[in-house]
Chain A
Amino acid sequence: MTGTDGTLVSLAGVSWSFDGSPAPVLQGVDLTVAPGEVVVVLGPSGCGKTTLLRIIAGLLRPECGTVRVAGHAPVPGQDSAIVFQGYRLLPWKTVAQNIGFALHALPLAEREARVAGYLDLVGLAKFAGAYPAALSGGMRQRVALARALACQPRLLLMDEPFAALDAQSRELMQMETMRLIAGAEGPAPGIVFVTHSVDEALMLADRIVLMSPRPGRIDQILPVGFPRPRWQADPRHAPEFAQLRQHLWDRLRAMVLSDPQSDFYGRG
C-alpha cells in the first residue's frame, strides 16, 4: 500500500505561503521517505519545518506541487500520527484517555486492550488514571509518544519532540524513543523527525534533510551511513561522524549569517 514506486511519502515541487503573504514559507520542496526509514529534517528555526510536517499530515494543502502518503493525498489521522512539540495532551483526560483519544473508531474492548498495551510499552501502566498535570515532562513525552504509536501509523511525524527537555533527559529520551518504536508491534513506521539540533539529527537519521530559511527550501540531503541504533557502538568519535557534523554546522552557520531576519545576520 505504498506508492507505485515503493515510497511511503513523496513530495514534488511543494510550495506554501500564508494567506496574503508574498514570501513563501516553503518553496519547491521535493522529498521521499521509504517505509521504515528515519528522515530527519534539520534547519534553523523559522525555516518551515513544522509547516512541512503539517503538509505531510494533510493538515495543510499545498498551493502547488503534489503530496502522496501511501499512494494517495494525505488525510489527517489516516496513515500518519504526530508527536507534537510541547506534548499537546488533553489536561482534562487521564493518561489512558489521552492515549485512547485517537482510537475512538475501535470497539471498546479492543480500544482498552490497545491502550493497556501501549501504556505498558512506555512503562506508565501505574499512571493510567493520572492527569497530565501530575506527570513530569519526560512522562508526558512518553504519553504523547504512546498516543501516536497506539494508532499504529505507517508514518510517524515528530516535531522537535525533545526540545523542551534538558540536555541529559534529551539524550536518554532519544535512545528510549527509538527503542520503544522498534519494540512496538507491527512493521517499523517510517519517521519524519524535525529538529534544529545537529547532534540529534546525527544520532537518529538514516538521511538528513537540511533546510534553509526564507523561503524554506531543501539545501542538501545527506545519508548517514552509521548502523542504527547508534548508542551501543557510539559512532560519535569516528572521523566520518565528526566530518559530517562539522559540515552540517558550517552550512547552518552560513544560512544563519546570511539570513537578514536572523539575530546573527552579517556577523561572520
Chain B
Amino acid sequence: MIALLRLGFLAGLVLLWWIASVQVPRGLFASPLETMEAAGRMLAEDRLGAALSASLKIYATGTLLAAAAGIALGAAMGLWRPFGRTLDIFVYALAATPRVAFIPLIITLLGLGFEAKTLIIFLGAVMPVILNTYTGVLNTDRDLVEMARATGASQGRIFWHIVLPGTLPFLLTGIRLGATIGLINTVVAELYTAVTGLGGLLALYGSRFQMAEYFVVVLTLSLIGVTVTEGLRLAERRLTRWRAAETV
C-alpha cells in the first residue's frame, strides 16, 4: 500500500518536472524524456560508466577508511576516559569547523590526485562515526556491566558481549551519516581538485548548459545516495533485530 503511494508520488514528481520543463525556455531545463535519451547516449559512449567508477572508487575508499578509523578512535575515547576527555573537545571543534576550509591546505600537501580526494572524503565522513561511537560507548548500561562482572566475566568479554552490542545502533547511525557526508564531499573533492568523476561531469555539463546530461549526473548521484543509505538502514535493522522483537 505504502509502496503504491510512493510510486504515485514519484509519478507526480515526474509530472511536475515535465510541466516545469515545458514552461521554462528551452536550453535552461531538460524534460524527463530528453534526460532519458541523454542517459542512453552517455551509457552507450561509456562516459557515465567511467565517471561513476572513478567517483565510487574514491567514495568507497574514503568512507570505509573513515568507518574503520572512526570506530577505533571513538571506542578508544569511550573506553579510556582520560584519553576521551582530553580529546573530545578537539573532536567537537573539528566537527564544527566546515571541513571544506581545509581543501586548499590538503591540495598544498597532497596535490590534486587520489590521495587528496580520499582525504577530503575521509575528513567529512569520519566525524559522525567517531562521535556516535563515542556516545554509544559512554552510554553503556552500567547495570549490565555489573551483571557481567558478577558472573566473573573478563574485560574483553564485557567489551564483546556488552559494550559493543550496546554501541552498535549508535555506530551504525554514525556510519550512515558519515556515508551521506562522504558522498557530498566526493562531489566537492571532484570539483575542487583535479576535475574527474561525476563531480567533473556536473561542472562540464553545467558550464555548457547541457541540461539533459546534467540531470543524468544529478540523478545518478541521488541514486548512489539512496542505495547506500537504504542498504545501511537494512543492515541496521538486521543487526538490531532484537530491538524490534514483537511481544508474544
Interface status of A223 (Cβ within 8 A of chain B): no
List of B residues within 8 angstroms of A91 by Cβ: 242-243
A1 CA / B76 CA spacing, docked (Å): 42
- State whether A84 touches B248 (Cβ < 8 A): no
- State whether B149 touches A76 (Cβ < 8 A): yes
- State whether B242 touches A82 (Cβ < 8 A): no
Interface status of B150 (Cβ within 8 A of chain A): yes
List of A residues within 8 angstroms of B149 by Cβ: 59, 76
Interface status of B143 (Cβ within 8 A of chain A): yes
Question: Residue B152 contacts which of A75, A88, A131, A135 (CB distance < 8 angstroms)?
Answer: A75
- State whether B243 touches A84 (Cβ < 8 A): no
Give A73-101 as 1s and 0s: 1 = Cβ < 8 Å from B's Cβ atoms: 00111101110101010111100000001
A131 CA / B166 CA spacing, docked (Å): 15
Question: Residue B245 contacts which of A84, A133, A136 (CB distance < 8 angstroms)?
Answer: A133
- State whether B150 touches A92 (Cβ < 8 A): no
- State whether B150 touches A81 (Cβ < 8 A): yes
Interface status of A130 (Cβ within 8 A of chain B): yes
Give the one of B144, B151, B157 with max A CB within 10 A.
B151
A91 CA / B148 CA spacing, docked (Å): 13
List of A residues within 8 angstroms of B243 by Cβ: 91, 133
Question: Residue B162 contacts which of A78, A90, A102, A135 (CB distance < 8 angstroms)?
Answer: A90
Interface status of A25 (Cβ within 8 A of chain B): no
Interface status of A134 (Cβ within 8 A of chain B): yes
- State whether A88 touches B143 (Cβ < 8 A): yes
Least CB distance from B162 to A in Å reads: 7
Interface status of B97 (Cβ within 8 A of chain A): no
Instruction: Please report the total number of B residues contacting A with Cβ < 8 Å.
Output: 25
- State whether B152 touches A76 (Cβ < 8 A): yes
Interface status of A146 (Cβ within 8 A of chain B): no
A80 CA / B151 CA spacing, docked (Å): 8
- Given the interface contacts A90-B162, A92-B242, does A135 sit within 8 Å of B248 by beta carbon? yes
List of A residues within 8 angstroms of B153 by Cβ: 77
Interface status of B43 (Cβ within 8 A of chain A): no
| Beta-carbon contacts under 8 Å, B144-161 to A | 144, 146-153, 157, 161
Measured as residues with beta carbon below 8 angstroms from the partner, the interface class of chain A is 20 to 34
List of B residues within 8 angstroms of A218 by Cβ: none
- State whether A134 touches B150 (Cβ < 8 A): no
A151 CA / B146 CA spacing, docked (Å): 17
- State whether A90 touches B143 (Cβ < 8 A): no
- State whether B152 touches A77 (Cβ < 8 A): yes
Residue of B nearest to A91 (CB): B242
Interface status of B165 (Cβ within 8 A of chain A): yes
Interface status of B247 (Cβ within 8 A of chain A): yes
List of B residues within 8 angstroms of A151 by Cβ: 151
- Given the interface contacts A86-B143, A101-B161, A104-B157, does A134 sit within 8 Å of B151 by beta carbon? no
A151 CA / B150 CA spacing, docked (Å): 12
- State whether A77 touches B144 (Cβ < 8 A): no
Question: Residue A77 contacts which of B150, B161, B245, B248 (CB distance < 8 angstroms)?
Answer: B150
Least CB distance from A263 to B in Å reads: 26
Question: Residue A90 contacts which of B152, B161, B241, B247 (CB distance < 8 angstroms)?
Answer: B161
Least CB distance from B205 to A in Å reads: 48
List of A residues within 8 angstroms of B162 by Cβ: 90
- State whether A101 touches B151 (Cβ < 8 A): yes
A88 CA / B162 CA spacing, docked (Å): 11
Interface status of B246 (Cβ within 8 A of chain A): yes
List of B residues within 8 angstroms of A81 by Cβ: 150-151
Interface status of A57 (Cβ within 8 A of chain B): yes
- State whether B242 touches A133 (Cβ < 8 A): yes
- State whether B150 touches A76 (Cβ < 8 A): yes
- State whether A133 touches B247 (Cβ < 8 A): yes
Give B228-248 as 1s and 0s: 1 = Cβ < 8 Å from A's Cβ atoms: 000000000000111111111
By a beta-carbon cutoff of 8 Å, the part of chain B in contact with chain A is: 143-144, 146-153, 157, 161-162, 165-166, 168, 240-248
10 extra interface residue pairs, beta carbon distance < 8 Å, beyond A81-B150, A82-B147, A88-B147: A57-B150, A77-B151, A77-B153, A84-B147, A86-B143, A92-B165, A101-B161, A104-B157, A132-B242, A151-B151
A-B contact pairs, 29 of them (CB 8 A): A57-B150, A59-B149, A76-B152, A77-B150, A77-B153, A81-B151, A82-B147, A82-B150, A84-B143, A84-B146, A86-B143, A88-B143, A88-B146, A88-B147, A90-B144, A90-B165, A91-B242, A92-B166, A92-B168, A92-B242, A93-B242, A127-B248, A131-B245, A133-B243, A134-B245, A134-B247, A135-B248, A136-B248, A151-B151
